[in-house]
């Protein structure tokens, strides 16, 4: 482990919030209900409002500290990546053992007391106020598996699929922070496969979707495009996402304009925004583009070869009966397009992105049933039950809890760059 910087704080080796990470979030505490910015480090949150008010940034060269007075990270995100780099590397410096600024926090008992809060004592809130939310569909295995279920193997992937990151606009108002319960939605469904007239009932096929999502730092003007090689500079950071989906509602409603009420009832995200700089060491080549897919149009061709991350994602399922198991492990390497490509495509016709917009990858699935990012795939559209301890499932039942975790690790001993978790439990419908 020689040459690797360590913190003077005791950071557990399996912590998602190593010195390499420094993710940003919004917290409150019982003693101070005000929503305020923070970073996560080991088992602590560093309260950036308190830290900046106490002069913590005085030696940093970062002068826009008024952004930490805000109840969201929008103002900080909008400063752009140079500002995020400056703040992150300065915070790394003050947290490093034998670092440049021991007087700021390490040797400052009073500020440590005030600003360094045990993670278990903080409540997280949505990190940014979200303008528009866009959901892509670039997990190729998921798209293929769903395509077979909805349209049969011949039409599983439409002709356009390998030429563009397919996506659609989602619902921003119902994006909630990890831990928020999700009420089983009531919607129009066909009561049986031969029916042609719908009923209004609680969804029988409630599902989750395992996704990675990016918050936009700086946008573009309407009528302009973001170049694919510049696009990463527009990203503030990433969160895990669970895009809850009612598959029976979706199957009935999605032709011809796409999913609508099947997905607009709730979408959960993890609390801590992990910066592109923290994830940069975990870039790799995408796995998923077959040779026969042909050549991309130039506006989607990136100069870099390593364009996607290798973040290890995990789905843990806890049943209402109390059984618990990890039912999927998959890497984000299975994304067909990078976030830079999603941004370039999103803006190609001149749509303007704004600071605080959220862009999600679509469900990430691997090659086999232990790597599927949705129950639609795992249960083969309800045909196959899977086992969790003493319980069996095809889709979500009331009282079940789904928890996604994700972290990148290069086994260097420098620690994990992780997201913590995004978790949610299903409440009974009130219908």
Residue list 401-430, contact with its own copies (CB under 8 A): 427, 430
- Quick one: DSSP state of residue 266? -
Residue number, 327 or 344, with CB nearest to its own copies: 344
326 interacts with its own copies by CB under 8 A: no
Two tokens, residue 302 = 């990136």
Distances (CA, A) of 35 to 55, 84, 236, 284, 333: 20, 20, 19, 36, 34
- Is the Cβ of residue 200 or residue 291 nearer to its own copies in the bound state? 200
Exactly one of 1, 13, 257, 291 binds its own copies (CB under 8 A); that residue is 257
- Residues 212-221, buried b or exposed e (16+ Cβ, 10 A)? bbbbbbbbbe
Q: Are 320 and 419 in contact (CB under 8 A)?
A: no
Residue 97 lies near its own copies (rule: CB under 8 A)? no
88 assigned to a ligand binding site: no
**Is 153 a binder of its own copies (CB under 8 A)?**
no
Q: Phi first, then psi: what are they for 92, rounded to 5°?
A: -60, -40
* Closer of 359 and 388 to its own copies (Cβ): 359
- Whether residue 162 contacts residue 382, with contact meaning beta carbons closer than 8 Å, is answered with no
Beta carbon of residue 73, minimum distance to its own copies (angstroms, whole number): 18
Q: Which of 70, 260, 382, 401 binds its own copies (CB under 8 A)?
A: 260
363 is in an annotated binding site: yes
259 binds its own copies (CB under 8 A): yes
Q: Which residues are part of the catalytic machinery?
A: 142
Which residue in 91, 100, 106 sits closest to 48, CA to CA? 91
**8 Å CB contact between 332 and 364:** yes
β-pair type (116-118, 206-207): unpaired
* C-alpha–C-alpha distance, residues 163 and 146, integer Å: 19
Q: Which stretch binds its own copies (CB under 8 A): 37-45, 95-103, 228-236, 263-271?
A: 263-271
Among 209, 357, 377, 421, binds its own copies (CB under 8 A): 357
Start-to-end CA span in the chain (Å): 57
Mind giving me the DSSP string for 53-82? HTTTTTTTS---GGGGGSSSSHHHHHT-HH
For 123, half-sphere exposure in the C-beta direction (CA atoms, 13 angstrom radius) is: 10
What part of residues 334-353 is at the interface with its own copies (CB under 8 A)? 345-346, 348-353
Place of tokens 């690797």: 4
User: Which lies closer to its own copies via its Cβ, residue 251 or residue 407?
Assistant: 251
Q: From CA 291, how far away is CA 282, in angstroms rounded?
A: 24
For residues 111 and 16, what is the distance between their CA atoms, to the nearest angstrom? 24
Binding segment toward its own copies, per CB under 8 A, in 155-163, 371-379, 400-408, 415-423: 155-163
Instruction: Pick one of 33, 152, 256, 290: the residue that binds its own copies (CB under 8 A).
Output: 256
373 contributes a contact to its own copies by CB under 8 A: no
Residue 170 in the binding site for its own copies (CB under 8 A) = yes
Written as six digits, the tokens of 36 are 């305020």
Residue of 187, 237, 415, 420 interacting with its own copies (CB under 8 A): 187
Task: Figure out which of the listed residues 69, 132, 233, 316 binds its own copies, where binding follows CB under 8 A.
Answer: 132
**Residue 94 or 249: which CB sits closer to its own copies?**
249
Euclidean distance between CA atoms 86 and 199, whole angstroms:
56
In the complex, what is the shortest distance from the CB of residue 217 to its own copies, in angstroms, rounded to a whole number?
Answer: 15
80 binds its own copies (CB under 8 A): no
Binding-site ranges for its own copies (CB under 8 A) = 131-132, 137, 147, 150-151, 158-160, 163-164, 166-174, 176, 183, 185-188, 196-200, 203, 219, 222-223, 225, 246, 249, 252-262, 264-266, 294, 297-299, 345-346, 348-354, 357, 427, 430
Q: What are the binding residues for Ca(2+)?
A: 135, 209, 211, 243
């Amino acid at each position: 482990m020689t040459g690797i910087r360590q913190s003077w704080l005791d950071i557990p080796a399996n912590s998602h919030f190593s010195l390499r990470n420094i993710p940003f979030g919004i917290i409150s505490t019982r003693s101070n209900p005000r929503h305020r910015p923070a970073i996560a480090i080991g088992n602590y949150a560093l309260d950036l409002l308190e830290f900046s008010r106490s002069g913590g940034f005085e030696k940093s060269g970062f002068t826009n500290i008024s952004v930490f007075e805000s109840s969201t990270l929008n103002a900080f995100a909008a400063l752009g990546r140079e500002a995020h780099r400056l703040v992150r590397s300065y915070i790394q410096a003050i947290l490093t053992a034998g670092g440049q600024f021991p007087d700021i926090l390490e040797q400052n008992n009073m500020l440590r007391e005030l600003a360094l809060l045990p993670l278990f004592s903080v409540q997280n809130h949505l990190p940014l106020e979200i303008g528009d939310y866009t959901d892509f569909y670039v997990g190729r295995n998921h798209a293929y598996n769903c395509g077979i279920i909805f349209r049969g193997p011949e039409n599983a992937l439409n002709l356009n699929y390998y030429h563009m990151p397919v996506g659609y606009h989602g619902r921003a108002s119902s994006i909630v922070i990890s831990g928020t319960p999700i009420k089983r939605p009531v919607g129009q469904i066909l009561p049986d496969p031969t029916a042609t007239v719908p009923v209004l009932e609680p969804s029988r096929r409630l599902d989750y979707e395992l996704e990675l999502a990016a918050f936009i730092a700086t946008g573009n003007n309407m009528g302009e495009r973001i170049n694919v090689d510049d696009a990463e500079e527009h990203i503030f950071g990433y969160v895990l996402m669970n895009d809850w989906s009612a598959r029976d509602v979706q199957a009935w409603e999605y032709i011809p304009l796409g999913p609508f009420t099947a997905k607009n009832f709730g979408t959960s995200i993890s609390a801590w925004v992990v910066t592109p700089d923290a994830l940069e060491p975990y870039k790799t080549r995408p796995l998923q583009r077959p040779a026969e897919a042909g050549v991309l149009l130039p506006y989607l061709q990136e100069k870099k070869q390593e364009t996607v991350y290798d973040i290890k994602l995990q789905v843990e399922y806890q049943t209402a009966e109390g059984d618990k198991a990890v039912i999927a492990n998959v890497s984000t390497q299975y994304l067909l397009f990078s976030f830079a490509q999603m941004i370039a495509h999103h803006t190609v016709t001149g749509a303007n992105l704004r600071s605080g917009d959220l862009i999600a990858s679509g469900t990430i699935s691997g090659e086999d049933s232990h790597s599927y990012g949705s129950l639609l795939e795992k249960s083969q559209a309800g045909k196959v039950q899977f086992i969790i301890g003493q319980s069996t499932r095809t889709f979500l039942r009331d009282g079940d809890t789904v928890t996604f975790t994700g972290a990148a690790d290069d086994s260097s001993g420098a620690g994990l760059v992780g997201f913590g978790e995004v978790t949610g439990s299903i409440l009974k419908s009130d219908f």
